[in-house]
């Protein structure tokens, strides 16, 4: 069966409506979940050939599909090279990630220190889960995770954030050095 056509503009309109209607973040994420899956399954509405060639330096590439003028409601496609990933990081906003192609391992971390020392952070990995096509990960504001493509193939996922990640002041973490430092994405040029 062909997936239902669900253009990014329609997803963005639905997201705007839900954000205006639902104040509670947990409820909002639950409402976005089925829409994120619908959009991920309808890859023909947004996939571009260049997504098959992620940035070899960064290990992944981020493609902007939609962003409001105030940088809210960022819809991004992210493709990952084999055996590459991210350091542990937070987002400074909520996020909904849906698998499209391949497998992505998510490691989830708990912050242990009291956040009183700038640039210092202790985090500990507490859970791990592999997400495949059509599987949705909802992330509350403040959640810390890392993403790895452990396979020999590209992976691709569809990401929705409450705010574009380069405008939230979010962090990446170095668990060994116990450091917290800013985390900015290099976006693929359009
Ligand atoms: Fe993330």
How remote is the CA of residue 128 from the centroid of ligand 1, in Å? Answer: 14
Query: pTM (2 decimals)?
Result: 0.96
How remote is the CA of residue 88 from the centroid of ligand 1, in Å? Answer: 8
Band (pLDDT 50/70/90 cuts) for residue 189 is confident
- pLDDT tens for each residue of 135-165: 999 999 999 999 999 999 999 999 999 999 9
Closest CA to 157 of 141, 133, 138: 133
How remote is the CA of residue 139 from the centroid of ligand 1, in Å? Answer: 9
To the nearest whole percent, how much of the chain has pLDDT over 70?
98
Buried b (16+ CB within 10 A) or exposed e, 11-29: bbebbeebbeeeeeeeebb
To the nearest whole percent, how much of the chain has pLDDT over 90?
95
How remote is the CA of residue 1 from the centroid of ligand 1, in Å? Answer: 31
Tokens of 3: 């997936």
Mean of per-residue pLDDT scores for the chain: 96
How remote is the CA of residue 106 from the centroid of ligand 1, in Å? Answer: 9
All structural domains of the chain: 8-182 (2.60.120.10)
How remote is the CA of residue 145 from the centroid of ligand 1, in Å? Answer: 6
Residue tagged 């170095």 (tokens)? 174
């Amino acid at each position: 069966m062909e997936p239902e056509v669900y253009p990014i503009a329609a997803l963005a309109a639905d997201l705007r409506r839900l954000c205006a209607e639902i104040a509670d973040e947990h409820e909002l994420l639950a409402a976005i979940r089925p829409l994120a899956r619908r959009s991920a399954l309808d890859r023909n509405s947004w996939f571009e050939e260049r997504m098959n060639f992620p940035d070899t330096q960064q290990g992944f590439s981020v493609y902007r599909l939609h962003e409001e003028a105030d940088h809210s409601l960022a819809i991004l496609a992210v493709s990952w090279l084999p055996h590459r990933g991210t350091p542990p990081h937070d987002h400074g906003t909520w996020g909904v990630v849906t698998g499209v192609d391949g497998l992505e391992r998510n490691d989830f971390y708990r912050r242990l220190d009291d956040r009183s020392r700038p640039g210092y952070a202790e985090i500990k990995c507490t859970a791990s889960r592999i997400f495949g096509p059509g599987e949705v990960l909802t992330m509350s504001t403040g959640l810390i995770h890392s993403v790895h493509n452990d396979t020999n193939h590209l992976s691709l996922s569809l990401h929705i954030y409450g705010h574009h990640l380069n405008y939230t002041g979010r962090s990446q973490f170095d668990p060994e050095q116990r450091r917290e430092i800013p985390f900015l994405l290099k976006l693929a040029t359009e």
